[in-house]
Amino acid sequence: MNKENNVCVVVDSGSSMRESSPEVKEREISILPLEVKFLENGTWVPYLDSELSADEFYNKMAESKILPQTSGAVTGRASKLYESLAKESDSIISIHITAKHSVAHESALLAANLVMEANPEVLIEVIDSKIVSIGTWFLAEKAALLSAEGYPLEDIKRLLLETVPKIDLITFLPSLNNLIKGGRVPALKGMIGNLLNIKPIIGFIDGQIRELSKTRTISKAKQELVSRFTGIKEEVVKLAILHTNNEEGARELQTDLASYYPGTIPVYEAGPVLGVHAGSGAVGIALLKK
């Protein structure tokens, strides 16, 4: 059987994309699902995030007294996917959410090494996007376009690594509740923050989540996002809005940004992996600079 010359592209579902997404089907990108675990009757029950609709996920999280856990341990699923794709192409590139906050990259790398050891003719490159959600998707989309144009694996890897530092993701959190539940801020500090109605603005620096600023209201948080966007000196060639169960807020931000960005600004529902940590109601922007 003759294999295709094109490079197969894989991205994990921390990119906020599902197999059913039109963009995924159009680009022929494979989605590697991550897990979300809910404590049910004293036992942690895992679900592939692709198994839960957005409504199901947020309803379950609201009903749970314990914050659900996320898992990027994908070695087994990744190995099976790579083996399957290796029947189509000798070249695979696999793109994952930031290694600073997930083991998805590490476990995918282990899977790649196992598959390449068993199939010496196959080359698999695993990329740390140093970002999450739609920022990670931007890289997968670029990889798929380059593959369709006939670029070889080593060139796609090089161009993606050059693109990583050009991607930003900035979002505001409606409350500190999930950060408190997840143990990411001391409970007392979190309680004070909620009493003061703090809306933290967060972003990523070299793959690490960082608090960029604080605001006191949602309207000021949205103004801060617009201000940060308009303050970017480089040309922005791609812009998207993401949200966690807050499409109304996302559409309002889309309208605000349309005055400053001439291109299309798609709106995406962020996946459960981001939803666990951000909580319901977050709104953010992902952008790619030239």
Q: What is the DSSP string of 143-157?
A: HHHHHHTT--HHHHH
Structure confidence at residue 189 (pLDDT):
55
Structure confidence at residue 199 (pLDDT):
86
- What does DSSP assign to residue 258? T
pLDDT mean over 222-237? 96
CATH number assigned to the domain comprising residue 88: 3.40.50.10440
Structure confidence at residue 142 (pLDDT):
98
Collapse the DSSP code of 243 into the 3-class scheme (helix H, G, I; strand E, B; otherwise coil) and give the result: strand
pLDDT mean over 248-267? 97
Same structural domain, 20 and 159 = yes
pLDDT mean over 21-48? 95
Token pair 């931000």 is at which residue?
253
Whether 2 maps to a domain, the answer reads no
pLDDT mean over 227-234? 96
pLDDT band, very low/low/confident/very high, at 16 (cuts 50, 70, 90): very high
Structure confidence at residue 222 (pLDDT):
94
Query: How confident is the model over 181-208, as pLDDT tens digits?
Result: 655 555 545 554 555 578 889 999 999 9
Nearest to 253 by CA among 287, 276, 219: 219
Structure confidence at residue 214 (pLDDT):
87
Structure confidence at residue 188 (pLDDT):
47
Collapse the DSSP code of 174 into the 3-class scheme (helix H, G, I; strand E, B; otherwise coil) and give the result: coil
Same structural domain, 109 and 229 = no
The tally of domains found in the chain comes to: 2
Rounded Cα gap, residues 32 and 136, in angstroms: 13
Strands 123-128 and 91-96: parallel
| Last residue within a domain, chosen from 133, 163, 193 | 163
Nearest 5°: phi and psi at 117?
-65, -40
Query: How confident is the model over 113-129, as pLDDT tens digits?
Result: 999 999 999 999 999 99
Collapse the DSSP code of 45 into the 3-class scheme (helix H, G, I; strand E, B; otherwise coil) and give the result: strand
Same structural domain, 228 and 104 = no
Same structural domain, 144 and 229 = no
Structure confidence at residue 139 (pLDDT):
98
Rounded Cα gap, residues 49 and 18, in angstroms: 9
Same structural domain, 159 and 226 = no
Collapse the DSSP code of 165 into the 3-class scheme (helix H, G, I; strand E, B; otherwise coil) and give the result: helix
Whether 93 maps to a domain, the answer reads yes
Whether 53 maps to a domain, the answer reads no
Written as one letter, the residue type at 113 is N
Query: How confident is the model over 42-94, as pLDDT tens digits?
Result: 999 999 988 898 889 999 998 988 889 999 999 999 999 999 999 999 999 99
Structure confidence at residue 265 (pLDDT):
98
pLDDT mean over 216-229? 94
Same structural domain, 16 and 111 = yes
| Last residue within a domain, chosen from 110, 136, 163 | 163
Same structural domain, 78 and 218 = no
Rounded Cα gap, residues 89 and 47, in angstroms: 30
Structure confidence at residue 176 (pLDDT):
67
Whether 56 maps to a domain, the answer reads no
Same structural domain, 196 and 272 = yes
In 43-188, at which residue ranges do the beta strands (DSSP E only) sit? Answer: 43-48, 69-71, 91-96, 123-128, 167-172
Query: How confident is the model over 97-107, as pLDDT tens digits?
Result: 999 999 999 99
| Last residue within a domain, chosen from 135, 163, 191 | 163
Structure confidence at residue 223 (pLDDT):
95
Q: How many CA atoms lie within 13 A of 73 on its CB side?
A: 7
Query: How confident is the model over 148-164, as pLDDT tens digits?
Result: 999 999 999 999 999 99
Structure confidence at residue 156 (pLDDT):
98
Rounded Cα gap, residues 1 and 4, in angstroms: 10
Same structural domain, 173 and 98 = no
pLDDT band, very low/low/confident/very high, at 180 (cuts 50, 70, 90): low
For the chain, give the percent of residues with pLDDT over 70.
91
Cβ-based neighbour number of residue 136 at 10 Å: 30
Rounded Cα gap, residues 155 and 147, in angstroms: 10
Same structural domain, 154 and 19 = yes
Whether 216 maps to a domain, the answer reads yes
Rounded Cα gap, residues 22 and 80, in angstroms: 24
Structure confidence at residue 178 (pLDDT):
64
User: CA end-to-end span of the chain, whole Å?
Assistant: 40
Distant-in-sequence, close-in-space partners of 125: CB < 8 Å, separation ≥ 6: 92, 93, 94, 112, 153, 156, 157
pTM here is 0.93
Written as one letter, the residue type at 45 is V
- pLDDT of residue 289 exceeding 50, the answer is yes
Same structural domain, 31 and 135 = yes
- pLDDT of residue 3 exceeding 70, the answer is no
* Structural domain boundaries, residue 30: 8-37+71-163
Collapse the DSSP code of 209 into the 3-class scheme (helix H, G, I; strand E, B; otherwise coil) and give the result: strand
